Amino acid sequence: MDLSSAHLESFLEMMSVERGAAVNTLSSYQRDLEDILAFLKARGVKATEAGPDDFRAYFADFAAQGFKASSQARRLSALRQFYKFLYAEGIRTDDPTGVLDAPKKGRPLPKTMSVDDVTRLIGQAEAEATAEPGLDKLRMAALIELLYATGMRVSELVSLPASVLARDGRFLIVRGKGNKERMVPLSRSAIASLQRYGARMQAETGGEDSPWLFPSSSESGYLPRQVFARDLKGLAGRAGVRVASISPHVLRHAFASHLLANGADLRAVQELLGHSDISTTQIYTHVLEERLHDLVQNHHPLAKQAKKQD
């Protein structure tokens, strides 16, 4: 057994006896640290002599293999524990892991939908509402149209008050997080769908009052968002849209992404979504980056000149 392996064995024994680490935790530490020590050995570096640059080289190689930031962070944690042990035992006079930066976790891009998929989804809802104009079909058409037209959160959508039907229809007042209100415009198709649904609901309820636009027998008194999400997936399946990629929140993302892709200002989208902080809206900047790239490629004089030369 070489010296590094002996140190690792002592470390694992300490973790087991003094820290009471679980078997799975010990196995994880052993696997991660053996991989790091093998990397150092291949570089001709002993564990007792390794420095920050050696570990940076290891993590650069580890990341290049496609391991996620979460996996890198776990290995860095194991490495730090190991070198704290070596320092505490007097085996090292320093801790070379103290200056290492934790891997940055990239913020995942929001799932969205193509314009074609949204068009198919809305088209399917409208076709079903026309073929069988029952309250459920008209409600689904109104829900889809309103959601894509406004980008509301699903909780805001299903809890809209019935008083919405009494307004002129061009705008909605939405009560969002923190009880803050915002005004969102409606598309013509959303207005038409909402009016059809409202007329049918009033006819079927016989004038029976409900404070909610989408009433239900649920505890809240309005349509549960889980029911809408379930029905939305069913509609997606009938429309030929991939069911696994569909949710009310994905339609909200589609609303924002499609607006930005067609030239909307980021601040305006922030207001429409009801984000209190612009940094929340900036998850959509990848859409802006793509649009700006296309803008330069298609309209910059030098880009046009390069195309002519090609």
Q: Under 8 Å CB-to-CB from 216, ≥6 apart: which residues?
A: 222, 223, 224, 227
Q: How many CB atoms lie within 10 A of CB 260?
A: 21
Q: Under 8 Å CB-to-CB from 208, ≥6 apart: which residues?
A: none
Contact 80, 97 (CB under 8 A): yes
Residue type at 218? S
Write out the E strands in the chain.
Answer: 171-175, 181-185
| Residues assigned a catalytic role | 153, 177, 249, 252, 275, 284
Residue 121 CB-density burial (10 A; 0-12 exposed, 13-18 middle, 19+ buried): buried
Question: Which residue do the tokens 């809209």 mark?
Answer: 160
Contact 143, 225 (CB under 8 A): no
SS3 label, residue 128: helix
Give the containing element (helix H, strand E) for 254.
helix 248-261
Q: How many CB atoms lie within 10 A of CB 291?
A: 14
Token couple for 287? 């859409």
Q: Under 8 Å CB-to-CB from 97, ≥6 apart: which residues?
A: 52, 55, 76, 79, 80, 83, 84
Contact 78, 29 (CB under 8 A): yes
* Gap between the Cα atoms of 248 and 232, Å rounded: 8
* Gap between the Cα atoms of 34 and 66, Å rounded: 19
Residue 2 DSSP symbol: -
Question: Which residue do the tokens 């909307």 mark?
Answer: 264
